[in-house]
Chains A and B, each alone.
Chain A
Amino acid sequence: MLKILNLDAGYGSLRVLKGLSLHVSAGEAVAIIGANGAGKTTLLKTIAGILKPRSGSVLFDKQPVHTMPTERIVELGCALVPEGRHVFATMTVRENLILGAYCRRRNGTAADAAEDLRNVYRLFPILQERENQLAGTLSGGQQQMLAIGRALMSRPRFLMMDEPSLGVAPLVVRDIYQTVATLKHGGLTILLVEQNARAALAVADRGYVVETGQIVLEGSSRELSGNHQVQRAYLGKEYQTIDE
């Protein structure tokens, strides 16, 4: 579904992604793990069209999308839940969700949006309770749910999530990851970026490890979870436990 070839991207004179390649097949959940500053967020922003790559290509359904504006990419069914949530703070929860369906305004009818709204509320009942509250006054976890819900309103076939566990209480992280698993079982293709490698690998089928803008390791989630290097660097296991 997604194929990235030799992607180079960055900000100004800073080269963040250095010839990065990866692929995601339909129906898969793929995790990208790596430290702060490895280029994970830059990668997702480039796929979503927020950043333009310097070279390399992003193919979505075999179609080159790296030259398209973000709004076209969203219309193709590729949605991003950005890092730091980015909900519309001065608008109500309901308005946030309705705007999520904006990209379908030409082909979708209002009735469809109402149905999607019901689905999101089923997934996150708390959002229905808070329907008329300003999004900026929600807790971190609720804002994360809203950001995911808003992305789902566009009826994506491919959902990218950037650090959904960041700044969220541990109990809520579990809830959010349960939802991610539900979405995956519903057939949604998912690309997940996380520093919380344990949570990400638990839900993903495969994973990539990114270091300084390049893929240094790839494999199934089981392989990566069992890899000593990954355990030491990203799963926080002590040398001793590995030795045992």
Chain B
Amino acid sequence: MNSAQIIQYCLSGITVGSIYAIVAIGFNIIYNTTGIINFAQGEFLIVGAMMAVSLTKVVPLPVAIGLAVVITTVLGGLVEVVFIRRVRDASVLRLIVITIGVSILIREAMLHIWDEKVRSLPYFTGTDVSTISVMGAHISPQVLWVLGVSAVIVTGLTLFFRFTLIGRAMRACADDRMAARLCGINDRWMVTLSFMLSAGIGAIAGCVISPVTQTQYDMGAPLAIKGFTVAILGGLGNSIAAIAAGLILGLLEVLMMSQFQAAYKEAVSIVVLLLILVFRPSGLFARRDLSSLRAF
């Protein structure tokens, strides 16, 4: 392999890695306020992208994406209000199973609305053949969009959770629900908000990656598995670590593809998931003091 090839591989690893990272961050947001894993997160990405594809027929691309994100955000809120909020004696496990059910429901609904055809949004800048060369390697400008949007989302979320009152209130709900209520925090609304936030972010991610990966009604589940692996690898709830973990998984997959057969690529995330669950279940970057204070 020459250096240009290596750079090429690295760049594509970084690209898929940052996509996984955004999915993982969606998991983290809901985990951080509710302690549950929302397995419908992958579907939020696809709903967002599908919606945007349909809307581009009537409105310009930026408007279509904006509308798709808003609609998906509302959908995320609805999922929580309809399926999660009413559950009595809600144990974490029960809620997680409900999110699996919701993911199937959304997937089937998408099949009815958009059929099984593969679609994609147009490239945000340039076309599918335009490239930018980086030290001899060629990358699509859409890759820069993916990287840029990931960076903005992560920075924004980190600031939101650390420095805003609402962000802190959401973390408080995850930490101790009763104490949060005693501080005057409306915990039900915080949970709804976390579903809206992660659905909205999922929709943004779905739109940004659509030109590169294309979009089909059943692509949510595989994305969710990758995102889940990354979330666990970094340490649940930690969005900065999710970025690093996403890049690690992305690069591992590309390494696998370049050295062995491409088909083995899919196995990488499963192997990584199993290894991390066995040997370091709190994640690669878990702060030991913090993880001992968590429920799981």
Interface residues of A, Cβ cutoff 8 Å to B: 48-50, 69-71, 74-75, 79-80, 82, 86-91, 95, 98-100, 102-105, 134, 136-137, 150-151, 154
Contacts and interface: CB of A to CB of B under 8 A. Distances in A.
**Interface secondary structure of B, over-half rule:** helix
Given A74-B184, A136-B293, A137-B289, 15 more contacts: A50-B181, A69-B181, A70-B182, A86-B179, A86-B182, A88-B175, A88-B176, A88-B179, A90-B293, A91-B175, A95-B168, A100-B183, A102-B169, A105-B165, A134-B289
Interface string B179-213: 11111111000000000000000000000000000
Interface string B275-296: 0000000000000011011100
B168 A134 contact: no
Nearest to B184: A103
B182 A80 contact: yes
Contact of A150 (B183, B289, B290): B183
B186 A71 contact: yes
B91 to A, nearest CB: 15
Given A69-B186, A88-B171, A102 B179 contact: no
A70 B179 CA distance: 10
Contact of B184 (A75, A86, A95, A137): A75
A69 B185 CA distance: 10
Interface residues of B, number: 21
Given A90-B171, A90-B290, A71 B179 contact: no
Contacts of A71: 181, 184-186
Contact of A74 (B168, B176, B183): B183
12 contacts: A70-B181, A70-B184, A71-B181, A74-B182, A86-B176, A86-B178, A86-B182, A88-B175, A102-B183, A102-B184, A104-B184, A134-B290
Contacts of A102: 165, 169, 183-185
A5 B9 CA distance: 73
B11 interface: no
Contacts of B251: none
Interface of B: 165, 168-169, 171-172, 175-176, 178-186, 289-290, 292-294
Contact of A90 (B182, B183, B294): B294
Contacts of A95: 168
A132 B274 CA distance: 35
A75 B180 CA distance: 13
Nearest to A160: B182
Nearest to B175: A88
Contacts of A90: 171, 175, 290, 293-294
Contacts of B293: 89-90, 134, 136-137
A171 to B, nearest CB: 26
B183 A82 contact: no
Q: Which of B179, B180, B181, B182 has the most CB of A within 10 A?
A: B182
Contact of B183 (A49, A89, A103): A103
Contact of A87 (B179, B185, B289, B292): B179
Contacts of A82: 178-179, 182
Contacts of B292: 136
A98 B185 contact: no
Nearest to B291: A90
A154 B182 CA distance: 10
